[in-house]
Structures are given as C-alpha cells and as structure tokens.
Amino acid sequence: MKPRHFTSLLDLSSEELRQILNRAIELKNTKGREYQPLKGQVLAMVFEKSSTRTRISFETGMVHFGGSALFLSPRDTQLGRGEPLQDSAKVISSMVDGIMLRTDRHETVTTFAQHSSVPVINGLTDLEHPCQLLADMQTYLEFRGDIKGKTVTWIGDGNNMCHSYIHAAQLLDFKLNIASPIGYHPLPAYADLAKDRVTLFSNAIEAAKDSDLIVTDVWASMGQEEEQKLREVAFKDYQINETIMKAANADALFMHCLPAHRGEEVTADVIDGPQSVIFPEAENRLHAQKALLEFLLV
Ligand code: CP
Ligand code: NVA
C-alpha cells in the first residue's frame, strides 16, 4: 500500500486538516508522557537549510511519542555527494518509519515521496511550508475560534509561506488578501488555484483593512541572502507597523513564522505587542506536528 505523504497542505482534505488541528490542541492539553504510539519508530530528518523550530519540534515530538529522530545533513551523508534522490529515498525508507525533509528545491521532496515506502513530510521547500500552516491555523483556532469566513492579510514576499497560506485559505475557507511589491507576488500556479478566495493588492494598508489576522515573513528567505539589499528597497512600504495594525480589525492577531528581523518586515512595537501571538505560534509547531505524526505514522 502507498504511504500517505505531507508534501503540501493540499495532501490533506479540509476535514483531515480540521481533525489534525483539533487533535493538536488536545495533545497540547494532555499532560504526562504515557501515550507513546510511536514506540521504537524512527523519523529521518534531512536538512539542506538551517532550522531551529522545525528540527526541535520534530525531534521532541518523536521522543514524546516514544520514538526517535535522526538528524541528517547533506554535508555528512551521500546526499551531498550526488547519490540519486530515488536511490536515497528507497534506501532511507527501507530503514526508518518516516522522512522529513527541508530542501532547496520542492522537487526533492516530491521525488522522495514518489520513491519512499514510508510517509514523507515537507519541512519547508522553496515553494511551500505546510508544517508552519498547521501551527498557524492551530494558533488562530485557539485564540479566536474557527477561521472560516474570516479575512487574513499576508503582507510581504509571495514566498513559500504565502503559497501555503493560499492552500490554507482553500481548505479552511477564509478570505486571503496578499499585498506584495511588483515582481514579488505569489506564483500564478498558486494564486490562480484559489482565485475566489485570494485578492492581490499593491497597497499594504488597503490589504489590511477589516482583517482578522495580519501575517508576514522575512523579505529575503534562506538562499536569497545576496538579494537582501535589493529587497530592502523593494519592500520598504510593506513593513508591518502600527499603521497597518490600526487598519485591521481591533482584535486582529499578528503572526510571523520566525526567525524575524525587527525593524525590517515588522516593527518591534508590533511583534512584541499585545496583538502578536508569535511565541504560542512557534510552540504550536510541536503540538501540530505531533498530531501530524500520529495521523501519518500510527
Ligand atoms: N519557522 C520555521 O520553520 O523555523 P525554523 O527555520 O527555525 O525551523
Ligand atoms: N520564508 C522563510 C521561512 C523560514 C522559516 C525561508 O524560506 O527562509
């Protein structure tokens, strides 16, 4: 039987996503570590890029569930020396129970999924970051209830996070306003998917009006470091500050997947202010991914 994968948020149905979010909250509120459904199971974690939250949450989640995780860097494995992805996927999956990958190219994750005999999880690619959306959507549910029918505003780069927000809008049925400078909008392959729910703006304040959740991310993602200066100029009118938060609804939340640059994409006043839920959001990576691991591996 083919395993279930999580290469994209769209690998889940709306119902499955809601089930995982509710289960994440339940697991978060369960004290004690007696529940060990993954006893003896191993998750291989391939990291081509840096990580704090993703690595710690998956590794800790596996330990909580009685299993363990292997940290694999291309530098120390044959992956970095050109061993074919297909061969690597077949070999690694013959020994472990699940594989999580954070890769430069989205295709690496989908190729792994094609050839793996165990579930493959996308821990961030250049195109998508679905695990972060599990945490963000869990956080909204905890603070404000069902996101269905609400308005979410993404301000900044139409990047991997933005693409996964488009998928979330489709699955959870919310309105998504996206404000980005010209040349930095989400890829049409993503934006066109959810035309009925997504509205593209060039003006950040217009996009923030009547919003229930304001979200942003860094202006230069991992791998785009050399574009930093160019992007600082392009994105200068897309900073989340008091003016943006005032344009949104009074009870709007602020989220950021982190790491953040205070004074660039968001002011310190906002990210450290009363509407910001960045730390529960970060902690929820653990709970949401435990629910995902249970869904895929048990
Ligand atoms: N938000 C997120 O994925 O964080 P890390 O890069 O630290 O894993
Ligand atoms: N867009 C960012 C997210 C980091 C968690 C990046 O890809 O670097």
Could you read off the pLDDT of 88-122 as tens digits, one per residue?
A: 999 999 999 999 999 999 999 999 999 999 999 99
pLDDT higher at 75 or 100: 100
Residue 32 clears pLDDT 90, i.e. is over it: no
Asked if 9-129+285-297 and 132-281 have one fold, the answer is yes
Given a contact cutoff of 8 angstroms between Cβ atoms, the answer to whether 74 and 45 are in contact is: no
Given a contact cutoff of 8 angstroms between Cβ atoms, the answer to whether 192 and 226 are in contact is: no
Q: From the CA of 132, how far away is ligand 1's center (Å)? A: 8
Q: What is the mean pLDDT of residues 142-160?
A: 98
Rounded CA Rg of the chain: 19
Residue 206: strand, helix, or coil:
helix
- The strand order across the sheet containing 120-122 reads 68-72, 42-47, 98-102, 120-122
- Ligand that lies nearest to the alpha carbon of residue 123, given by its number in the listed order: 1
Residue 273: strand, helix, or coil:
coil
Nearest residue (by CA) to ligand 2, atom 1, is: 221
Q: Which residue has the tokens 């923030």?
A: 208
- Ligand that lies nearest to the alpha carbon of residue 258, given by its number in the listed order: 1
Residue 51 CA, closest ligand 2 atom number: 5
- 132-281, superfamily in CATH? Aspartate/ornithine carbamoyltransferase (3.40.50.1370)
Count of all residues that appear for the chain in the document = 298
For the chain, the structural domain boundaries read: 9-129+285-297, 132-281
* CATH number for region 9-129+285-297: 3.40.50.1370
pLDDT at 116: 98
Q: Please give the Cα distance from 235 to 146 (Å, whole number).
A: 31
Q: Which residues pair with 254 in a beta bridge?
A: 214, 276
| Pocket of ligand 1 from Cβ distances under 6 Å | 51-54, 124, 132, 257-258
The two three-digit tokens of residue 96, written as one number: 């472990």
Q: Please give the Cα distance from 179 to 142 (Å, whole number).
A: 26
pLDDT at 31: 86
Residue 165 clears pLDDT 90, i.e. is over it: yes
Closest to 108 measured CA to CA, from 94, 122, 90 = 122
For the chain, give the mean pLDDT: 97
Residue 55 CA, closest ligand 1 atom number: 8
Nearest residue (by CA) to ligand 1, atom 2, is: 53
Rounded to two decimals, the pTM is 0.98
CA dihedral 241, 245, 246, 247 (to 10 degrees): 110
The burial class, CB within 10 Å (0-12 / 13-18 / 19+), for 275 is middle
The two three-digit tokens of residue 254, written as one number: 């602020």
Nearest residue (by CA) to ligand 2, atom 2, is: 221
Active site members: 102, 129, 132, 217, 257, 285
Q: From the CA of 125, how far away is ligand 2's center (Å)? A: 8
Nearest residue (by CA) to ligand 1, atom 1, is: 257
Q: Please give the Cα distance from 267 to 294 (Å, whole number).
A: 37
pLDDT at 1: 81
The confidence band for 73, taking pLDDT boundaries of 50, 70 and 90, is: very high
Residue 124 CA, closest ligand 2 atom number: 7
